[in-house]
Copies of this chain bind each other. A is one copy, B any other.
Amino acid sequence: MNDFEVIARKGKEAAFRLNLLTIDKKNSFLNRLVVLLRSNAKNILGANKLDIEKAKEYRLSNALIDRLSLTEERIESMAKGVEQIAKLPDPTGKILDEYLRGDGLLIKKVSVPIGLVGIFYESRPNVTIDCAVLCLKSGNACLLKGGKEAHYSNKALIVLIKKALEEEGIDPHAIQLVSTSDRNELKALLRCNDFIDCIIPRGGEGLIKFISENTSIPVVKHYKGVCNIYVDAEADINMAQSILINAKCQRPGVCNAVENLILDKALGQSKINSILEVIYKQGVELRVDASLDAMLVGAKISTRVAHEDDFYQEYLAPILAVCCVDGLEGAINAINKYGSGHSEAIITSNQQTAEKFLKAIDAAAVYWNASTRFTDGYEFGLGAEIGISTDRIHARGPMGINELCTYKYLIWGQGHTR
């Protein structure tokens, strides 16, 4: 057994024990962690400072340094997040279905934890706390593999987590931090099929690809958001403009921000111009495909030419790729082709057109006359989320404590045979 097999085996054993904990015990742990986060804010900030210094030394981008940085406010917001998760109902032990047979055999489908969950993520240290508490609340043990840029911050946080586990008498292997970033070592971890039940990668294309190609453990991918908005000929143009500005500009760096704008040719030159002018005024770079470009006579904007590749990109920046299609069919084909299965929207006042769009689009969240920015566990009323799944299997869209569960069938007999 290599080191990672030992870590994974201990995690799986902890998962068996976690499955037997009461909800009160799980919540006690969460509340204790809240206290420790607040009373150790200075230690955490000190550790975080070391990460920031290193990040500057390695000349990481300002955006990345900002995501990495903790402040007293951010630590308080972590603590508040944990408090909220403590208030959520227990996602395990729920009766999802029940069937009493004519012969008296009683069959219940009951929610249970998945087991041992491996979570691979990058940069932001608050993800360490979010993942640890969402897993524990749902009765799952977890292996957390954070980014190396958050090394010291994550170490400071895991010390508090371990302390809270110990003080509550919970198996210390219920939450383990894996600190290597060596790809060969990670491959060894990804081969621990006998112990790890599910892997959740949150991050960029490289991370997701590396994991998918090096494991046969089930993976629930939290991949990029190439979100599209289609403005139909029958759209309210003011509504289209305000939704577009919200979806593109409110927070361009998040996965539910829009990246592609699909315009119905039948909108005509003047409406198309006015939509693009409004976005352009917000400082958004417009990448326009050749056929649309020819239509933009008289628009008070400057544009760049969009290539096919541009429509597959997650910009996470004030850039919008724009193309024209021939009505609904063209929009559906374009979105099912370019989209990453995250969030897509149609703006139209025609109900029939909208219903067709909602049915035909293949994505986790499909909107009619609303911004794609709503795709979020909290906004959807699910509570906190571990991320947004772009996979189809098991969980799709925001993944909260319910999606960290699976189920089993329990069957009560009185000597029943077949």
Contact = CB atoms under 8 A, between A and B. Distances in A.
Interface in A374-391: 374-375, 379-381, 391
Interface string A280-300: 000000000000000000000
Contact of A392 (B114, B247, B375): B114
- Nearest 3 CB-CB pairings of A with B: A370-B413, A246-B417, A212-B216
Given A242-B417, A370-B414, A393-B394, 18 more contacts: A16-B336, A16-B362, A19-B359, A19-B360, A212-B216, A218-B219, A218-B393, A239-B415, A364-B408, A365-B410, A368-B410, A370-B413, A370-B416, A371-B413, A371-B416, A371-B418, A375-B409, A393-B406
Contact of A408 (B20, B247, B396): B396
A368 B409 CA distance: 11
Interface in A1-59: 16, 19-20
A366 B397 contact: no
B366 A246 contact: no
B417 A368 contact: no
Interface of A: 16, 19-20, 99, 101, 105, 107, 114-115, 197-198, 212-213, 216, 218-220, 236, 239, 242-243, 245-247, 250, 336, 358-360, 362-371, 373-375, 379-381, 391-394, 396-397, 406-418
Contact of A198 (B19, B219, B393): B393
Nearest to A105: B370
